[in-house]
Structure 1
Amino acid sequence: MLEDICPGASVQISEGVAGDLGAQSAAKLIAAATDVALVVDPQGVIRDVAFTREELAHELDGQSRWLGARLVDIVTSDTQPKIRELLLDATVRDAPTWRQVNHPSPNGEDIPVLYSAINFGRDDRLLVVGRDLRQLAMMQQRLINAQQSMERDYIRLRHAETRYRLLFQVSSEAVMIVDAASELIVDANPATLALFDTSAPEALNAPVIGFVDGADQQTVLNLFADVRSTGRDGRARIKLADGRRECELSASLFRQENASLYLVRLASHGAPPEAGSAKTASLLLNYFESAADAVVITQYDGRVVRANLAFLEMAQLGSAEQARGELLDRWLGRTGVDLSVALANLRQSGTIKLFATVLRGEYGAVAEVEVSAVALKDSDDKPCFGFAIRNVEKRLTTAATSKRELPRSVAQLTELIGRVPLRDLVRETTDVIEKLSIEAALELTGDNRASAADMLGLSRQSLYVKLRRYGLAEHAPEGDGADE
């Protein structure tokens, strides 16, 4: 096609290498190297166009609307300055450059194309060649999504490690990690060091049986061998090296980084060291008060017994006394049903995880939260509940939604059950479907409102009202004028 546009044109490659390329060969070369080629006159009007792929031609120029149009008018408004710079570089500056522009597409998504313009010297016409960048843009988007996913996984793992370390350190139970091959202590929490009456440098990388009474060392070795061979947890009653304190030793096998490890717990039957217990209780209390997430302890009926500073801030309360004795559903839950559901699950299963709801402040602030809770017993052996409440409003979404898909998926609508009245869910879904149906009817009828109204089974007046309601006012006239 291009040899008809510029007859006699040739491409000088290098004398003695390939000679002169004729117009037909030049056209084949351009077709092989580009996805679209345009001939543009000095006024920027497209005089001829060629595509190498029918799919791209149908999507960009499905009705041959490019011929006779100005190149600057067939790109999106934000990339029009790039077209002007492109033509200026080729005509005035004689310095062809590549510039990326976007073409609007009937499916609603812009198509990126990389263009360069060449002045081939006939009537000052320009040859504009372009490359389709959709595959590159898709790979870039996948890379961005993968990077964001990795960052979210890294943050989640870091938080999990932080929670593990905190729980490991403040636990009142003696816990240590033992290498299954060498039976050396890899890690030990403060309660273990207090029980062994030793320091961390002395305990780490030391044989675990060195802290066990000589008469029970073989028992511990046999227990480790049974756990390693069967994979089932084991326990045994032993004495520590001082010979005065009895403990119940429990061992569980797990793997980490291609290595087998034991999680060993020691429950002392003697009086624990006073200093260790006081320090542990102090650490737990400090954690409760200064935790970044809201933490609340309630009675069996949901009345608040104690709340930390994070909860007081989220609930917009001035002091803990304002919350004590009040039902938690005064702040937690949107419909008054959420807390009842949570309490029922706690009484039945003893724990709930990542329960999505809202937390309302005293002065009208509302925050999306996730609730995890567990059933407890207080010092008087009375049942109570502990709630951990996390604000999730700023959490990253896993994937961007396309422009024409429903704003709520089935899973998202399911999550709203119990938090939003049913009539609101039905109304929102109906509005979305109605708007998309009107847009589709207008697109199928070429914006003919009379035909669109007949297709939808509406009167034109009803269609005009709905167009204004859904922000499609450009389709609706101010009066009841005739269709164009």
Structure 2
Amino acid sequence: MTSRGTKYWNSGAIPLIGPDILGDIIASLADLAIVIDPSGSVLSVLSNPANRNYSDLKSWERMDLREVLTSESVPKFDRALRDFLDDDAVARPVELNHYADQKKWQFPISYSLHDIGPDQTILMLGRDMRPVAEMQQQLVKAQIALERDYESRREYDTRFQVLMGHVTDAVVFISMTEGRITELNGAAARILGKKRESLQGASLAQEIKGAARTELMDRLLAAAQGDGAAGVEIEASRTGEKIRVVPTLFRAAGERMLLCRLTPMEGHAFHEDDHSRNLIALCETGSDGIVMTDGAGAVTSANEAFLNLVDAADGRSLRGRQISDFLSRGNVDQKVLMEHAARVGSMRLYTTRVIGEYGGQRPVTISATLLSDGHTPCYAFVFRDAQTTELPPAAGLTATEEDAKPLKELVGSATLKDIVAQTTDVVEKMCIETAIELTGNNRVAAADMLGLSRQSLYVKLRKYGLLAKDG
């Protein structure tokens, strides 16, 4: 109760506040309070005494508020004032930018408008938005810094992957805590006898014959903490190859890691001498096209001469594609070449046409060789452009004296038409015999190679007496 007998709070009503302390309450609650008339002229300015930046704003009184607003804030103020004076409109807070110190600096204020008298005077209670703006700027700077760090990390990751892909030494990164492979290059994967993708995250002990994880890691740690020259001798469980591991201990992001260099033991190591370098240079820069495929005929590598032969941009676009994609008879040519090479080790002077990336064809002779180390068989194909080279006669296409003798006897006793008809039979017989020989007596493949149906091939085999010979 007050001395006059009235209550401060009654059913949620605001208590009576003395005029002498109302201004102080408003100034304390808001950062900036401005009283304006309906035209926008400033009648009074109250600033929060805790904020020293507003100490000289008394000069705004009797000025039009638009004079201390930035150009983009004037239309916003006019629209907010018009909506507030319109009884049907909903008054919303408005954010305005003010000038200060003769337009030397700006500060944003978020205002709410309130009607405080019968003369339509308006109280604008403002909240300083600079702390929010500063926080937003800090967030933007932090986001930019994160994006720069992310791009920098991607750049370093790319450099690391390129380095791991081109280094000739077999390198493996191993986590000391888990004993798992965190990263390795293709050379290390070949030594361990598995694909690089399947070794990522695998336990190193599982790839080593007769080694427990704890024992293996203790041996590697002891070798890394010692002189490290001798390394640790292990045996790959998949290939059975003896390997020397030379570990190097380091710490990254608080975790101990081992950088292990794998080298085959003496007797297994591959020494790159002049002969090997010359062979590699011949494959890369030779005039004949050379293609390596896996056991299923998928291209694994191709040299520059083959890329020119098929008009390919680079070797990466050919990897994984079947060699039959570049042969005129497709799977028939591939099957004949690979089956013959698998049966006798190699095949020479196979004549066909190669198809380029844009549909162009040119005649070639192909030799195929099976290369196998007992684990991962692969095939090597050598393509020689026969467009400007006189081709040697293919095996089985040379007419023998026995075949030509009846034709010589016909001269003088038969017409040229009859002689040509018998000559055609001789050539047809030689072609069928050659196709049967190339396909290893595979009648279906021979029919496809000759462009005949199976029934037509059997008719011709019976005609020339080849059924009993090849059966």
Give the shorter-chain TM-score range.
0.3 to 0.5
The structure whose Rg is larger is 2
TM-score, normalised by the number of residues in structure 2: 0.47
